[in-house]
Structure 1
Amino acid sequence: MAAITEPKLISGNANLTLAKSIARRMSMHRGMSVNLVDARVERFNDQEIFVEVYENVRGEDMYIIQPTSNPANDNLMELLIIADALRRSSADRITAVIPYFGYARQDRRAKARTPISAKLVANLITEAGIDRVLTLDLHAAQIQGFFDIPVDNLYASPIFALDIEHHFKGAKDDLMIVSPDVGGVARARELAKRIVAPLAIVDKRREKAGEISEMTVIGNVAGKKCIMVDDMCDTAGTLSKAAEVLMESGATEVHAYTTHGVMSGSAVERITNSVMKSVVITDSIEPTEAVKSCPKIRIVPTAPIFAQAILNIWNGTSVSSLFETNTLVPIYEGMYQNR
């Protein structure tokens, strides 16, 4: 049954640009103005975070838009404190819209005496009074099970499928989807199925963390335009090295599609100097000026899918319908109208 109140959006400082874009998209869908709730999220001199909400939110359906990207701890605390402020202001339901879920790489104990930080973060979010989580391409799908509240995990692959069909029109027979490591095979296979393309894998072996000792291509990529797909690009080391190995194996071009552009350290410089022709990321993380000015990096928007997902949650309709490429065609109207 549809809610009586209107959905209300509030944002932390992690990605205000995306929050405003989501509000604009929702305004288009609703045929009425949807604005971010007037609030201040700032820091005292000792860097304590303070939140004040200027509007009445009693009984409202609230959506906090806040990726927990770098600086992860600050952005996570902003999310928790905003949630606490809304809960103490008698908001009816609080949904955390987390386009990029930080700490997701710490989803298991890889060795003795290490934490499972993703589970700790899930506990913090739940205890802060958040009723539901909406996120995009979790690094590990099992993180959904860390929560005792509903979690909707959207996928970027249908958006990427639309983008590939548009930008590689007429060359689909030459495409090869590539997973840059064995752990990402399921993600790459999903995209390969969507665009009906073959799949190859780059087997990566590390001597120690951060250092790749050997890479081997599993599959015949000779004469193919290779599209690597991953959930995040952090230092771009794996993608750059994998691209070199693919080119040495006979690929004609190498491109990359990654959901979250973490872009730490010299990642942009590494991409610029790599053999990759393009790297496509989403705006789940606020891109830096260096990222936006890099000619090899292209950013696709997530505001249309998040706006529709929020409206579906508010209306009590299916979110899983957004997993299908055909469902996204009208949502991304204009971007790929000449498919």
Structure 2
Amino acid sequence: MIVPGSSSQLLAAALAEETGRPLATPTYDRFPDGETLATVPEFDGDEATVVAATDSDEAWVELLQLQDAVREAGAERVTTVVPYMGYARQDESFGDGEPVSARAMARAISTGTDRVVLVNPHEPGVADFYDVPVQAVDAAAVLADPLPEGLTEPLFLAPDEGAIAIAETVRDAYGAGETDYFEKHRDRETGAVAVSPSDAAVSGRDVVVVDDIVATGSTMSESVGVLNDRGAARVFAVCVHPMLAANAVTKLRGAGVDRIVGSDTIERGCSVVSVAPALADALE
């Protein structure tokens, strides 16, 4: 049975359809003192797949409660799908007394599940923090589906050299184009940081800026501005995890993005493609 967290209801429903498994209907309540209560009043079976993006502190608590609730309801085996893992960027301590938050969260999840499935974790090494078997699914290829056919000399750009693989994945899925990445340049006098494509010319070309996550949109909007200044024909912003906090959408549109494309690992207005097929393969 597929058990959705409140932030992942559409994805859970799509996954239930892909796998042919029944979809549970949890309830998400709150006590007068503000504490949350996630329950699974109707659960039938000995195996549960909890699907919950942890895009807020409340979502983390809800996930732990759902894991415990399905155990109480009789599940003998629990798989936890974390489409988006919050705190995954805090994968090391950056100063004395600071936590490795990704490790703390992974250990908490591990206590209530037999297996974990992640989708494009920002830092792949976070999988090592879990105390149960973990599978990381690469779902970036689905981002190519909504792109228009016949892009003009398409160029797929990653935010840095280390992320070039995700740009290559989307390019390969699209079936045409080149890949490149942005380089950062710091002005020695002012300390200001500027970004630019490392090699490829962009004038007159359609450019797809690819990233695993867009949070505030500041870095990507700056990159888009550079592309437009250099004469790019159209610029598309695509990401697996469209966090798009605060005014990120406005920043990107203001910078000249023609379209923002995200998946349903975090359910936003731009979540036009689903990672459910990739997750269904992992759950077989």
Q: Normalising by the residue count of structure 2, what TM-score does the alignment of the two structures yield?
A: 0.88
| Gap runs ≥5 in structure 2 | none
Structure 1 residues 298 and 82: CA distance shift in structure 2, 3 A: closer
Structure 1 residues 212 and 99: CA distance shift in structure 2, 3 A: farther
Counterpart amino acid of residue 39 in structure 1: P
Structure 1 residues 203 and 22: CA distance shift in structure 2, 3 A: same
Alignment partner of 1:140 out of 87, 100, 123 = 123
Q: Distance in 1 between matches of 2:92 and 2:164?
A: 19
Structure 1 residues 57 and 35: CA distance shift in structure 2, 3 A: closer
Alignment partner of 2:134 out of 112, 132, 151 = 151
Corresponding position of 1:203 = 183
RMSD: 2.5
Alpha-carbon shift at residue 45 of structure 1 (Å): 1.0
Q: Distance in 2 between matches of 1:12 and 1:94?
A: 14
Corresponding position of 1:234 = 215
CA deviations on 1:136-184 (whole Å, 9 max, x unpaired) are 11101111111121212222222124444xx2x3346x01111123442
Corresponding position of 2:154 = 175
Q: Distance in 2 between matches of 1:192 and 1:302?
A: 17
> Is the Cα contact below 8 Å between 2:39 and 2:65 reproduced in 1?
no
SS of 2:75's equivalent? coil
Alignment partner of 2:89 out of 105, 127, 130 = 105
CA deviations on 1:29-87 (whole Å, 9 max, x unpaired) are xxxxx4322432322111222243323546x1100111001xx1110111111111222
Q: Distance in 2 between matches of 1:118 and 1:242?
A: 28
> Is the Cα contact below 8 Å between 1:221 and 1:250 reproduced in 2?
no
Identity %: 28
Q: Distance in 2 between matches of 1:236 and 1:40?
A: 33
Alpha-carbon shift at residue 306 of structure 1 (Å): 2.9
Q: Distance in 2 between matches of 1:21 and 1:193?
A: 25
Q: Distance in 2 between matches of 1:134 and 1:62?
A: 13
Structure 1 residues 91 and 218: CA distance shift in structure 2, 3 A: same
> Is the Cα contact below 8 Å between 1:257 and 1:280 reproduced in 2?
yes
Alpha-carbon shift at residue 111 of structure 1 (Å): 4.2
CA deviations on 1:298-319 (whole Å, 9 max, x unpaired) are 6222333334433x1xxxxxxx
Corresponding position of 2:31 = 44
Q: How many matched pairs?
A: 279
Q: Distance in 2 between matches of 1:75 and 1:110?
A: 25
Corresponding position of 2:9 = 16
Corresponding position of 1:62 = 48
Counterpart amino acid of residue 52 in structure 1: T
> Is the Cα contact below 8 Å between 1:200 and 1:221 reproduced in 2?
no
Q: Distance in 1 between matches of 2:25 and 2:150?
A: 48
- Equivalent residues in 2 for 1:252-271, closer than 5 Å: 252-271=233-252
Corresponding position of 1:306 = 279
> Is the Cα contact below 8 Å between 1:182 and 1:204 reproduced in 2?
no
Corresponding position of 1:5 = none
Alpha-carbon shift at residue 270 of structure 1 (Å): 1.4
Alpha-carbon shift at residue 237 of structure 1 (Å): 1.2
Corresponding position of 1:316 = none
SS of 1:134's equivalent? strand
CA deviations on 1:239-287 (whole Å, 9 max, x unpaired) are 1110111222342222121011111111121122221211111121122
Q: Distance in 1 between matches of 2:180 and 2:134?
A: 31
> Is the Cα contact below 8 Å between 2:224 and 2:235 reproduced in 1?
yes
Q: Distance in 2 between matches of 1:97 and 1:272?
A: 32
Q: Distance in 2 between matches of 1:240 and 1:302?
A: 25
